[in-house]
Structure 1
């Protein structure tokens, strides 16, 4: 296999999650494709359409030429309009059409990954005309597909894979965003520390230290006398960080200690996905 070793974990995570998605939707009858998911305005069909669209663009296909309806209440900005295009063109596809296209997409992407010989720092196309490295693109993609696998599991009442390869990619992606959540968005006090104790299928203890300039850094060492501390399970952490639930909806699953205004600000700004 010619895939660069640095990229292998992302390819493995994507493979695990996309195959799980395929297994989840293969037996669905037509009506089940209309079930609501945690993504606003999106059904199971819409979510699978989004995943197919993501992989088609990773493969290099051109984006569809399509005009969105004007009554999509959940589409409010350019990024959402960009993402909605691949969804809306498939909105009336039947269950067999959806599963067939998903399977074809998986076959094509697996072949592409087997033949991938570019370096991790190769610049590739991103969303909305942006560019990023191949490594960043594959990491983001593995993260997104795992999160959407979890969205489908929630919609279908089929929990699982909270400790899969994609879950560990998600942990790293979400932790990378945590310093900005605490130091910038929540405006935590300077020269302070905020501790996060996460338990469940994926466990970790991390400290965000805010320096005298107000910059946040992620550390593995626990802090004595932190300004705030949070204890929650991994699934709740993911759902909060990905904007799938509000802090109020999971208040009974989050133990927060410290100044109430600070803990509320952290939780209010916890979502980091668009």
Structure 2
């Protein structure tokens, strides 16, 4: 047996992004590993440590036994503490140690994916003892690795892959969160429509319709006379949704039309990553 067809796009996206990350960091000198990235509190080394840690856990390795220092001010939640362990345990690793472990991890995970025959609905472990399906896990993983590839590209001044397989996974993951952003978090008016027109390497036009009960649904049909409309480029959409830039900092790249309080509430609640 081989990888289920439902899972293949996520495996392809992961492969594309992880190989891009390996190519980005392979030639870095030691000082480059300490560069700040758009991911709050994390350096280039921290991003790569996180990606290695994610893949080690996907492989089934036990988590490291490690106590976090108390001065990590960007770590405030249980989930962040859980994630930070794999990062902090590698904070003093050298550049050769980082690239060697990354390459070894890629080899192991590629072998695992070649032999993966489980059903997409198989339950697997998630963060903090949670359970999720294999499909959910692989989708989330492909999304995370692509976002972190973009973090590294920003930090290193090497833009690219905004239309890669991982970008299309990211589009679907982020759009799935949009109804909750508009209808629940921003409390958009009932029986209203909010339009998002995104251009660039990944383009889409989507409408969030809020019904009389206040529930939001994602539609591809455009809306006439929407309560609010946003026009922005794909990279800005990703950076806002992943908390890499504030609405204030991105104001010159977002055209917002509609009632100012509503548009401000939507942008204020646009971040969907933990």
Q: Same fold (TM over 0.5)?
A: yes
The equivalent residue for 1:146 is 146
- SS of residue in 1 equivalent to 2:12: helix
Give structure 1 regions of 4+ aligned residues with deviation exceeding 2 angstroms.
Answer: none
> How far 1:182 sits from its partner (Å)?
0.1
Partners in 2 of 1:116 and 1:77 — Cα distance? 33
> How far 1:147 sits from its partner (Å)?
0.2
Query: Is 1:30 aligned to 2:14, yes or no?
Result: no
- SS of residue in 2 equivalent to 1:235: helix
Partners in 2 of 1:187 and 1:41 — Cα distance? 30
The equivalent residue for 1:207 is 207
> How far 1:126 sits from its partner (Å)?
0.3
- SS of residue in 2 equivalent to 1:255: strand
Partners in 2 of 1:40 and 1:167 — Cα distance? 21
Structure 1 unaligned blocks of 5 or more: none
Partners in 1 of 2:24 and 2:112 — Cα distance? 24
> How far 1:85 sits from its partner (Å)?
0.1
> How far 1:40 sits from its partner (Å)?
1.4
Partners in 2 of 1:39 and 1:73 — Cα distance? 14
Partners in 1 of 2:77 and 2:132 — Cα distance? 22
TM-score for both structures, normalised by structure 2: 1.00
RMSD of aligned residue pairs (Cα, Å): 0.5
Partners in 2 of 1:245 and 1:258 — Cα distance? 22
* Cα deviation 1:183-228 (Å, max 9, x = unaligned): 0000000000000000000000000000000000000000000000
* Cα deviation 1:226-265 (Å, max 9, x = unaligned): 0000000000000000010000001000000000000000
Partners in 2 of 1:20 and 1:123 — Cα distance? 29
Structure 2 unaligned blocks of 5 or more: none
The equivalent residue for 1:10 is 10
> How far 1:39 sits from its partner (Å)?
1.2
The equivalent residue for 1:253 is 253
TM-score for both structures, normalised by structure 1: 1.00
- SS of residue in 2 equivalent to 1:247: coil
The equivalent residue for 1:228 is 228
* Cα deviation 1:16-72 (Å, max 9, x = unaligned): 000000000000000000000111111100110000000000000000000000111
Partners in 2 of 1:163 and 1:59 — Cα distance? 27
Partners in 1 of 2:14 and 2:266 — Cα distance? 30
Partners in 1 of 2:75 and 2:134 — Cα distance? 28
